[in-house]
Amino acid sequence: MAEILFETIPSLDLADFTSNDPNRKSNFVKKLGEAYNTIGFVAIRNHYLTSELSDRLYTSIKKFYALPDATKQKYEIPDLAGQRGYIGKFKEHAKGRNTGDLKEFYHVGQEVLDNDPIKKEYPDNVWPAEIPDFKEVALDVYRRLEKTGIHMLRAISLYLNLPENYFDDKVHHGNSILRPIHYFPIEDPDSVPEDAVRAAEHGDINLITLLMGASADGLQVLRRDGKWIPITALPDQLVVNVGDMLERLTNKKLKSTIHRVVNPPRHLMNTPRYSIPFFMHPRSEMNLAALPSCVDEKHPKLWDDITAGEFLNQRLREIGLKK
């Protein structure tokens, strides 16, 4: 069968999956599997994030990034390896590169409100006093994207012929991160390294990423024939892609596709771009060993066994956030 080469990422309706109609549900699972087998990205509508809440979060983060650098740096905690609070300009680079990306970002992590012992693994969130409504809206967005992600993982489970709730306990109080990003304006393009880009080509570390609509163009995904295609989603959609952990778990049956954020034309380098991905991680003890159903003579096991926590620490060192 000829491989499908998408010109745009497929658009799916999560309401099909959550409906009581078995045909709609199974069709969603089939189309999701096809997309994740090939391009690794889909656009999802009828998720749990509202436009009003999305707008409120963008308003808050724009206020934060408008603060002086010295004020923002109060919320940068070196001992946390970038896992909570503010991470300054040029601090993160793609795996295999040394030049920092042209961005700054903020990390909001899991809030454990019961006696789950995993709470001790997570540092407390850091909240900027100058933006009093940031905490409430960020946590609300976090919970809604997490809920959406659980349904996406249930559909993935069915596609892999696993029990529908296979991932539920593995992502309960998972180490997920909400990351509001500011690709800051560059007034003088000659003042930054020649090879510096907004986000160099990379795969995401986690199980799946849920991306709220960005404020400008620039996101591109590398198709398997080597062509870069632009990723655009309507305002009411989330872009949801496979991360490296899920690729590893499925022995590359599901594809963690390389993507990047390219610089705008030189005359527009002085314009900002904002983006808010939600990186859905499991609990640190999750075993990422390849599922037996994804390994056979034609598809030998590609990677050694590793836990999600071990894999995350390895990657944080590779991208410059952890020493």
Give the tens place of pLDDT for each residue, 54-65: 999 999 999 999
Asked if 41 contacts 239 with a C-beta cutoff of 8 angstroms, the reply is: yes
Share above pLDDT 90 across residues of the chain, in percent, rounded to a whole number? 67
Residues 6+ apart with CB under 8 A from 44: 11, 12, 13, 14, 148, 152, 210, 237, 238, 239, 240
For the chain, give the mean pLDDT: 91
Asked if 257 contacts 39 with a C-beta cutoff of 8 angstroms, the reply is: yes
Q: Which residues of 20-39 are buried (b: 16+ CB within 10 A; e: fewer)?
A: eeeeebeebbebbbebbbbb
The H or E element containing residue 155 is helix 134-159
Residue 265 belongs to some domain of the structure: yes
Residue 323 belongs to some domain of the structure: no
| Lowest-pLDDT range of 26-40, 95-109, 117-131, 185-199 | 185-199
Residue 213 belongs to some domain of the structure: yes
Domain tally, the chain:
1
Residue 68: give the domain boundaries: 11-318
**CA-based nearest residue to 312, from 57, 107, 145, 102:** 107
Q: Phi, psi (5° rounding) for residue 156?
A: -65, -40
In this structure, which amino acid lies at residue 26? S
CATH number at residue 240: 2.60.120.330
- Six token digits for residue 150: 């659980």
pLDDT(262) > 80: yes
Which is it for the CA torsion 41, 31, 44, 315, positive or negative?
negative
In this structure, which amino acid lies at residue 303? W
User: pTM value?
Assistant: 0.93
Neighbours of 98 (CB within 10 A): 9
Residue 58 belongs to some domain of the structure: yes
pLDDT bracket for residue 315 (50, 70, 90): confident
Distances (CA, A) of 262 to 13, 37, 48, 188: 28, 25, 29, 17
